[in-house]
Structure 1
C-alpha cells in the first residue's frame, strides 16, 4: 500500500507528464521527453491549452514589445505573428485553412471531410488564411495605436490564452466525427473530462486576472469563450455533424481573433481609454 506522500508524488509526476505532452503536441518547443500516449496523456493535455497559449503569447508579445522600440507597430505586429507561427508550426492555422476549404467547397458531409483531409490549400483556404492574418495584423496594430506597446503585448497574450480555451469547450460540447484512425488528433479528440475543462477554465481565468487585475473580467472571459464555442459548435454541426481536429484549429483561430476584436471595439463602445 502506497503512502500518501508517494501517492501525491506520483500524481504530481503524472501531471507533469501531461503538461510536457501538451508542450510537445501543441508547440515546436524542444522538450527532452518521449511523447507516448499512455494513460490518456494527450486527451488530458487539453487542460493546459490556455497555459500553452500563455507561453506562445508571451514570446510573441515580447517580440512585439522589443521591435516596437525601433519600428512602427505594423512591423512589430508582423514579427509577433511570425514568432507565434514558428512556435506552433502553424498548427492551428493549418486546421483553419482546411476548415475553410472543406466548408466552402463541400456539399455533403463525406465530401467536406474528404476536402479537409487534403493537404493542399484551395481557394477558400487561401482566402480565409489571408483575411485571418490581415485582420490579426490590423487588430494588433490598432490596439497599439489606441494604447501603448505594452497594451498590445498584453492583448497578444490574452488572445493566445483565451483563444485556446474555445476548442476545449467545443470538445466538451460536441462529438468527434472523423471515422478513420489515422488522424493525428484522434487521441485528443476522443473527448475531454469535466476535470480538464475545469482546470483549463481556472488557468485561463487566472491568466486574465494576472494580466488585468480585474476579477470581473477574469470571470467574464471564460463565459465569453463558452458562448463563442457554442456558436462554433452550431457552425460545425451544420456542416459535418460534429468536430474534427481541423475545426478545433479553426475554433482556436476564431477565438484569438475574437479576443483581439473585443479589445478594439469594447473601449470605443464604452468610451474607455487604454492605460
Structure 2
C-alpha cells in the first residue's frame, strides 16, 4: 500500500461529526424510548457511531430526564408525599429509558458476582434471565434512588428534587462513556464494540458540558454546591471501582457494564445531594 492509499484509508474511516442536532437525536434514540423523528440528512436506522456523537450526550440526557423531572416537580408542588413523589419520578425514568440502564445493572451484577471464570461470567451476562445478584442490584438501586430523592424533596423542596434528576442524568451517562473510551471491550462482537470507541476529544466536551449544566441546575434548584461536589466524587469512585472490577473479572467492558456505571453514578449524585441537604438542615 502506498502512502497515498494509506492516507485515503485513514480519511475513509475517520469519524464524521454529524452536527449537534443529529448527534443529540442519535443519543436520545439510543438511550431511551422517546419517539424522535428523523432529521434532514439523517438515517435513524443506522447503528450509531459513538466516536464523536457522545459529545452531545449531556443535552440528550436532559431531554430523557425531563419527563421524570416534571413529574417530581408537579407531584412535589401538589403536596404528594416525598416517598411517593420520588417513586413516581423514578418510574418515569424507567419508562422513558425502557429500563435500558437497569437491565445493564442486573446483568452486570449477575455476571460479575455469579460466575467463577471470565467465560462463565460473560455467558451469564448474555442470559436474559435475572438471577439473585441481579434482582438484589435492581432492588437496591430503586430503593436508594427513591429514598435519596425523597430526602432531597423533603429537605429542599420540589424544585430541588426536579433539579437533582436533571443534574444526575448527563453526568451519570458520561461516566459510562468514560469506561467505553478508556477500557477495551471484552466481546469484539458486542454492543459496546459495535458503536466504536469515543475519540479522545469526546470526554472533555461531554464532562465539561455536564459540569456546566450541573452548576446551572444547582443554582436554579437551590441545591447545595457541596452536595454536588460530593455526589460527583462518589460517582467517580463508583465508576473507578466498577471499571477495575470489570477488568479483573471479565477482562474489559461490555454494554452491560456501561449501563451499570450510569446507575451507580445516578445513585451517587442523589446521595451526595441528600447528605449535604441533611447536614444543612441540622
Q: TM-score normalised to the size of structure 2?
A: 0.82
- For the 8 Å contact 2:227–2:274, the answer to whether it is kept is no
2:93 to 84, 87, 98: 84
2:56 to 23, 26, 48: 48
Q: 1:220: Cα distance to partner?
A: 8.4
Deviations 1:22-71 (A, max 9, x none): 11111111122242447x63443322332222122222111011122142
1:187 to 155, 174, 194: 194
- For the 8 Å contact 2:172–2:264, the answer to whether it is kept is yes
Please name the residue that 1:247 is paired with: 257
Q: Name structure 2 gaps, 5 residues minimum.
A: 1-15
Separation in structure 2 between the aligned mates of residue 78 and residue 217 of structure 1, nearest angstrom: 21
Separation in structure 2 between the aligned mates of residue 261 and residue 216 of structure 1, nearest angstrom: 12
- For the 8 Å contact 1:166–1:228, the answer to whether it is kept is no
Matches within 5 A, 1:35-114: 35-37=44-46, 41-68=49-76, 69-114=78-123
Pair 1:237 & 2:242 matched: no
Separation in structure 2 between the aligned mates of residue 106 and residue 139 of structure 1, nearest angstrom: 31
Pair 1:199 & 2:208 matched: no
Separation in structure 1 between the aligned mates of residue 135 and residue 226 of structure 2, nearest angstrom: 38
Q: 1:83: Cα distance to partner?
A: 0.9
RMSD of Structure 2 on Structure 1 (CA) = 2.6
2:217 to 211, 215, 221: 211
- For the 8 Å contact 1:46–1:196, the answer to whether it is kept is yes
Separation in structure 2 between the aligned mates of residue 144 and residue 219 of structure 1, nearest angstrom: 19
Query: Residue 270 of structure 2 aligns to a residue in which SS?
Result: helix
Pair 1:24 & 2:29 matched: yes
CA shift in 2, pair 1:154/1:215, >3 Å:
closer
Q: 1:158: Cα distance to partner?
A: 1.2
Separation in structure 2 between the aligned mates of residue 217 and residue 74 of structure 1, nearest angstrom: 20
Q: TM-score normalised to the size of structure 1?
A: 0.84
Deviations 1:1-42 (A, max 9, x none): xxxxxxxxxx8854432222111111111122242447x634
Separation in structure 1 between the aligned mates of residue 143 and residue 226 of structure 2, nearest angstrom: 31
Q: How many residues align?
A: 258
Matches within 5 A, 1:116-135: 116-135=125-144
Pair 1:264 & 2:274 matched: yes
Q: Which runs of 4+ in 1 moved over 3 A?
A: 11-15, 183-186, 213-228
- For the 8 Å contact 1:29–1:87, the answer to whether it is kept is yes
Separation in structure 2 between the aligned mates of residue 212 and residue 15 of structure 1, nearest angstrom: 24
CA shift in 2, pair 1:222/1:146, >3 Å:
closer
Separation in structure 1 between the aligned mates of residue 111 and residue 17 of structure 2, nearest angstrom: 41
Pair 1:147 & 2:156 matched: yes
Separation in structure 2 between the aligned mates of residue 13 and residue 233 of structure 1, nearest angstrom: 29
- For the 8 Å contact 2:58–2:209, the answer to whether it is kept is yes
Separation in structure 2 between the aligned mates of residue 262 and residue 109 of structure 1, nearest angstrom: 33
